[in-house]
Structure 1
Amino acid sequence: MTILNARNLSLEEVQRLFGFQEQYKDSFSPLLSLEPLLESEQYELLQIRDDFRRYLTTGKVSEGQVKFLVLAPLLRLAGFYRYPIEIRLEENIAEIEVEDEDVIIKGRMDILACSKAKHTIANAYFWVLLIESKNSQIDISTGFPQLLTYAYKGIDNQQSVWGLATNGRSYQFVYIEQGNSPIYHLMPLLNFMEPPRAVELLQVLKAICQM
């Protein structure tokens, strides 16, 4: 039996092991309905972006800083801290094990948002959003193998799940769904430093939270 760490897998290996098929979508609709932001939300969004920009100008922003400076306030603003959503972090998420024939893949996701009001077929909390974060100088595509590995475990019990890979500046949402060959849909890439895309980012997070 071969034991692998999800952090060390390439996207090619994940696609081969789990049979993932990649597709692109040029819009978040019809999967999500994006609603206009309140003026207060737009103001707070601007504050989050300006705080993060100040750190970017000094050089690399670490993965921990990305979580603290950007992800935490964005998730709060989008409603992820309110019932029935529960946020779980890496240190309090049980290690994920994915077994494929003679290979076991282990790892822990960075952030998991689940719903305590909705259950899967295995009577577990419904996974709403998986997040894999990197430092500001790492390409977000390096987070795809881990994100897809953990999502593959999640779609054992539910039809689909949303994923997000980010380095604080760039945000790549991925919609992962079951199938004979599971599919992951790459959604439009959003740059947090561009005002229209920052607004769209918060709209997407709010829509996922309210599903």
Structure 2
Amino acid sequence: MIQVIQAQNITLAYLKQKFALHKSEDEQFFREWFDYIPEISELEKQYLDRVKNNYLNVLENAPLLEEAVKMVVLSPLLDLAGFYRHPFYITTEESLELSEAIIISNEVNTEETKEIIKGKIDVLVLQDQLWLLIIESKRSSFSLAKAIPQALTHMLANPQPEHPAYSLVINGEDFQFIKMIKQDKPMYALSDKFTLYRRKNELYKVLNILKNLGKVLS
């Protein structure tokens, strides 16, 4: 029997149960978001100030849908981080499939149930065939806590399990990075959460981290 599950319906509890996924409490596990972070220029800061103002001004009229979040906030960040240029390239709406076989036994018979998780990655940054960064973009009213299990599901489907996987979840005003290493039991960690509703423009930090990931991974 085959059961199809949509990635957006996956929970952390499901991933822990089915894939033995666990969260690292070691601060050194995910150093890339806070260590050896490159500085950004004054021109980049001015541009990011404009991106922040654009987002907040547009948001005054109505909550932003996912595509608007990509256009107003995400696209400028990817441009400044250099992900539109060689050696990187970007794909959108990348389909994925992740499966798990479950053996159910009783006194009468043994039945194998195969659960298949299907979904699409909003934005995927690659170098050659190596998945570098998975980006999960949501509408402005969507909580990142709900997006994180979906991003982790995408990371588990990474076809190069020998390499670390990174993800960024974003709803326009909040941003959080994830790192996963797939060993015997896959392990992940989260960065701090950054938001546009603080006085200091935290897009500076988001761009810092994106640039550092591009440097580390290339």
TM-score, normalising length from structure 1? 0.88
Of residues 133, 154, 157 in structure 2, which corresponds to 1:153? 157
Structure 2: distance between partners of 1:172 and 1:30: 14
Structure 1 residues without counterparts, runs of 5 or longer: 117-124
Match of residue 51 from structure 2: 48
Q: Does 1:113 align with 2:118?
A: no
Match of 1:82, as an amino acid?
R
Where does 1:137-152 land on structure 2 (aligned, <5 Å)? 137-152=141-156
Q: Which amino acid aligns with 2:213?
A: I
The answer as to whether partners of 1:25 and 1:187 remain within 8 angstroms in 2 is no
Tell me the TM-score normalised to structure 2 length. Answer: 0.85
Distance 2:116 2:29 in 1: 34
One-letter amino acid matched to 2:8: R
**Structure 2 residue runs without a partner (length 5+):** 102-113
1:78 touches 1:202 (CA, 8 Å); kept in 2? yes
Distance 1:27 1:114 in 2: 25
Which of 198, 203, 213 is the equivalent residue of 1:208? Answer: 213
TM-align CA RMSD: 1.9
CA positional deviation for 1:111: 0.6
| CA deviation string 1:138-175 (max 9, x = no partner) | 10111112211110011654321111111111101001
CA deviations 1:122-147 (Å, max 9, x no partner) are: xxx11110011111111011111221
Between Structure 1 and Structure 2, which shows a larger proportion of strand residues?
A: 2
Q: How does 1:15-30 map to 2 (within 5 A)?
A: 15-24=16-25, 30=31
Query: Does the 8 A contact of 2:124 with 2:135 survive in 1?
Result: yes
* Residues paired across the two proteins, number: 200
Distance 1:156 1:107 in 2: 18
Q: Which structure has the greater CA radius of gyration?
A: 2
